[in-house]
Copies of this chain bind each other. A is one copy, B any other.
Amino acid sequence: MAKAPVLTPRASDFPRWYQDVVAKAELADNGPVRGTQVIRPYGYAIWERMQAEVDRRIKAAGCDNVSFPLFIPQSYFQREAEHVEGFSPELAVVTHAGGKDLEEPVVVRPTSETVFGEYMAKWVQSYRDLPLLLNQWANVVRWELRPRLFLRSTEFLWQEGHTVHASEADAAAYALRILTDVYRDFMVEVLALPVHVGAKTARERFAGATRTLTCEAMMGDGKALQMGTSHELGQNFARAFDIGFLDDAGAQQLAWTTSWGVSTRMVGGLIMGHGDDAGLRLPPRLAPTQVVVLVVRDEDGAGERAALVAEALRTAGVRVHLDARTDTGFGRRVTDWELKGVPVRLELGPRDLAQEQVTLVRRDTGEKTLVALAGVTAAVVDALELAQTALLDGATEARDARTADVGSAEEAREAAATGFARLPWHLLGEEGEAALATSAVTVRCLQGPDGGVPDADLPAEEIVALVGRAY
């Protein structure tokens, strides 16, 4: 008798499958206030690993971490016209505090360009103070009408970088560096998600930016997820907040700024980018637990030997968990570890032990191998490396198979029903883009002829539009 599936199959209802994974892998719950979320231990462990890997890359790019206030005076938002227009509908406002009404209501930050701008203006005096490279890990609030856990929540966790530069070229180079050396590198090398990088169209740009760069991944249902963005803000915020400096000739200059961020939304991308009908499939470099050692039955010393195997793996630098809950059924425990997407599972019982071997199961392929206990650490390390590569290769193949080169807006609309379409931007244009939007199909990014962020001076006819439906 076939057992009932733990999750709704992806093919029958992808959004429902997503909800099931989030609930049953115990990643997050809905918070008590609409659109907020409670991130549970396993979901938070995934986020902590993301933070550690992204933070290391941000610091390597020369940024210092800081902490700015949650509350921003409402007046700050008025100073940059596009910014206030873009964010006003989503703001949460504190009007009452300390037992009385506030004279000026304060906004709960939806993003912090304005308040960073105010202080960066004080800290920057001379060209010697530039570039000023700051980042913060923080929570932000954007009132969402259609919240979904991790993907679109009223409050979310993120990092936001804010930098000041002496020239437009320096600002542009830094925004690109963050996009490629921090975000893309992390997403490809750690998350094993093959992201497209490119520039947003004017329609999709961040409110207040002159250019928005983006990383776009394809999810298991063929839709796009914007995984991270990096903005050239031109002199818009420098002008609004008076961020100026004396150049080396002693002349007063207006500075150039950037901002960029990735958020807990990446957890949603990880679920939908790699998950299958049995649950999560975590890439080994990210996984909080890389290997689980399961004691099948604790007889004839199997439990003790499993503990030794786990200890040897830990010593070798592997993130390992020993599951000795033999009072819970073996099948149920296997289902649970599959749900949680732990990359490698070692199953050890008295029968395996009698043969001095252990069963190694890869989560990404389901492949089972018998491995001699004497060589188990090396076998695990190999399997982890293979799984990391296989997940990236698999996601790349699946994405490319669902990407069509097309020659018209109508063909792009059709292709976007199941995946991405690529077409010359000049064949679509802003009118074509607006028409597609009525079917919820959007230009995810503009790219150069060979993919990637297009040079700012690339002739219009060489620019390619990547089109899809998006989360």
B66-A98 in contact (CB<8A): no
A45-B73 in contact (CB<8A): no
B98-A90 in contact (CB<8A): yes
A92-B94 in contact (CB<8A): yes
A97 in complex: contacting residue of B31, B44, B47, B93, CB < 8 Å: B93
By beta carbon, the residue of chain B nearest A142 is B98
What is the CB-to-nearest-CB distance from A109 to chain B, in angstroms, rounded to a whole number?
11
Q: Which residues of B contact A88 (CB under 8 A)?
A: 99
State in angstroms the CA–CA spacing of A37 and B115 once bound together.
11
A45-B31 in contact (CB<8A): no
State in angstroms the CA–CA spacing of A175 and B66 once bound together.
31
A115-B32 in contact (CB<8A): yes
What is the CB-to-nearest-CB distance from A324 to chain B, in angstroms, rounded to a whole number?
14
The verdict on A65 contacting chain B, using a C-beta distance below 8 Å, is yes
State in angstroms the CA–CA spacing of A110 and B401 once bound together.
51
By beta carbon, the residue of chain B nearest A156 is B67
The verdict on A186 contacting chain B, using a C-beta distance below 8 Å, is no
Given A44-B64, A93-B97, A97-B91, also A69-B119 (CB < 8 A): no
The verdict on A38 contacting chain B, using a C-beta distance below 8 Å, is yes
By beta carbon, the residue of chain B nearest A65 is B44
- Report the count of interface residues on A (CB-CB < 8 A): 54
Given A33-B71, A41-B66, also A92-B99 (CB < 8 A): no
Residues 128-160 of A at the B interface (beta carbon under 8 Å): 134, 138-139, 141, 143-145, 154-155, 157
Given A64-B44, A115-B32, also A155-B97 (CB < 8 A): no
The verdict on A368 contacting chain B, using a C-beta distance below 8 Å, is no
Q: Which residues of B contact A47 (CB under 8 A)?
A: 67
Q: Which residues of B contact A91 (CB under 8 A)?
A: 97-98
B65-A32 in contact (CB<8A): no
By beta carbon, the residue of chain B nearest A138 is B139
Q: Which residues of B contact A65 (CB under 8 A)?
A: 41, 44-45, 48
- Chain A 333-357 per-residue mask, 1 if CB under 8 angstroms from chain B, else 0: 0000000000000000000000000
A96 in complex: contacting residue of B64, B95, B115, CB < 8 Å: B95
State in angstroms the CA–CA spacing of A90 and B99 once bound together.
7
B94-A93 in contact (CB<8A): yes
The verdict on A187 contacting chain B, using a C-beta distance below 8 Å, is no
15 residue pairs of the A-B complex, CB under 8 angstroms, read A32-B118, A33-B71, A33-B73, A33-B106, A36-B69, A37-B69, A39-B68, A41-B66, A41-B134, A70-B155, A71-B92, A93-B96, A95-B95, A97-B143, A138-B139
Instruction: Other than A71-B141, A71-B155, A92-B94, give 17 A-B pairs with Cβ distance below 8 A.
Output: A32-B115, A32-B118, A33-B71, A33-B106, A37-B67, A37-B69, A38-B68, A41-B65, A44-B65, A67-B157, A71-B92, A89-B99, A92-B98, A93-B96, A95-B95, A99-B143, A138-B139
